Homo-oligomer: A and B are copies of this chain.
Amino acid sequence: MKTIGKLAKELDISVETIRFYERKGLIVQPLKPENGYRLYNNILANQLKFILKAKALGFTLHEIASLMSLSGNCADVESMGLQKLRLIREKIADLQRLEGVIKEMTDSCKANQDPNSCPIINSLN
Contact = CB atoms under 8 A, between A and B. Distances in A.
Given A116-B74, A117-B72, A98 B54 contact: no
Secondary structure type dominating chain A contacts? helix
Contacts of A95: 58, 88, 91-92, 95
A115 B96 CA distance: 37
Given A88-B95, A91-B95, A102-B88, A81 B120 contact: yes
Interface string A84-111: 1100110110011011011101100110
A118 interface: yes
Contacts of A57: 98, 101-102
A85 to B, nearest CB: 5
Interface of A: 46, 49-50, 53-54, 57-58, 67, 70, 72-75, 77-78, 81-82, 84-85, 88-89, 91-92, 95-96, 98-99, 101-103, 105-106, 109-110, 112, 114-121, 124-125
B72 A110 contact: no
B106 A82 contact: yes
B78 A106 contact: yes
20 contacts: A46-B125, A49-B125, A54-B124, A58-B95, A72-B116, A72-B117, A72-B118, A73-B116, A74-B114, A74-B117, A77-B109, A77-B118, A77-B121, A81-B102, A81-B120, A82-B106, A85-B102, A88-B98, A91-B95, A92-B92
